[in-house]
Amino acid sequence: MDNFDGSARLMIVSDLDQTMVDHDDPEDLSLLRFGALWEAEFSHDSLLVFSTGRSLISYKDLRKEKPLITPDITVMSVGTVIAYGADMVHDVDWEEYLNSNWDRDIVVEVEEAAKGKHQTILFVCGDSGNDTELFSVPSIHGVMVSNAQEELLQWYEENATYNPKIIHSMKRCAAGIMEAIEHFKLGPNVSARDLELPYPKLDIMKPADVVVKLYVLYEKWRRGEVRKSSPVIQYLKSIAHLNGTIIHPSGLEHSLHASIDALSSRYGDKQGKKFRAWVDRLVTSPISTTNWLVKFDNWEM
């Protein structure tokens, strides 16, 4: 929660299994699309909360299996464990307070923590009857994904059919969440993974968007999903500063343009394989009027 100053503009609270994560999607396309959208457009001023019945161990196992981005807050074990950030710092006070039920008080308290002088928009996402408490929080916006279970759909029919702030999406899992972002006009809902080359030109180039697009193209290049052509390399260079530098966590520095040139020899080396690359924990900071420092994790699976 330290990646921006002031109030969160938006806070998304989402269940994981069969809501954010589609276990029937072997390519994890909707999950990857959402991750790219969040890192490029929302992570700088909004909060992402994962709410799951999984234990800490089970949650960590899921992260090893699926291309999940890191949430700001993770609520686990049916609400009895709350952890913050990538370091999973436990909220000991909460753990002493909570009983074994996922309670709407958790959402309300987390929402209060996210607020400052401005109202934070709370947006909840779920698929099962266990999520009804989420949708019962006053003033929330909510989406039930298209694959929602009958128990939740029954609750919706009895309690929220005429509530314009709660919708039943036509799309599954993370794709349904993105559909709801558009429906409620909560922000952009087009992911870099939805675009085809040549990408549309933007009047203002945003560093976060540039980094996300770089790594989406990096993945497609290695999977052989774009043509092996100089225009692709030239496009990558066009959105990367001529004097840009990549600093590895080890301290080694590499020219950004030289790193892009080196991609030529790696074209299609992951073709036919389940290879994915994504950006996580992306933070941008201006260091001058024309230069930015961008910190992020790059994961490959």
Six token digits for residue 233: 């390399």
User: 283 near 295, Cβ under 8 Å?
Assistant: yes
Six token digits for residue 254: 């590499």
Length of the chain measured in residues = 301
pLDDT over 80 at 113, yes or no:
no
Q: What angle do CA 252, 67, 217 make, to 5 degrees?
A: 60
Burial class (CB in 10 A: 0-12, 13-18, 19+), 53: middle
pLDDT of residue 138: 80
What is the per-residue pLDDT across 19-56, written as a single tens digit (0 to 9) for each? Answer: 999 999 999 999 999 999 999 999 999 999 999 999 99
* Ranges of CATH 3.40.50.1000 domains, the chain: 10-192
- Rounded to two decimals, the pTM is 0.90
The better pLDDT of the pair 196, 180 is held by 180
pLDDT of residue 162: 92
Place of tokens 């040549």: 198
> Looking at the domain covering 195-300, what would its CATH class be?
alpha beta
What is the per-residue pLDDT across 242-278, written as a single tens digit (0 to 9) for each? Answer: 888 988 888 899 999 999 999 999 999 999 999 999 9
CA–CA separation, 189 vs 176, rounded Å? 11
Q: CATH topology for 10-192?
A: Rossmann fold (3.40.50)
pLDDT of residue 276: 98
Strands 166-168, 141-144: pairing kind: parallel
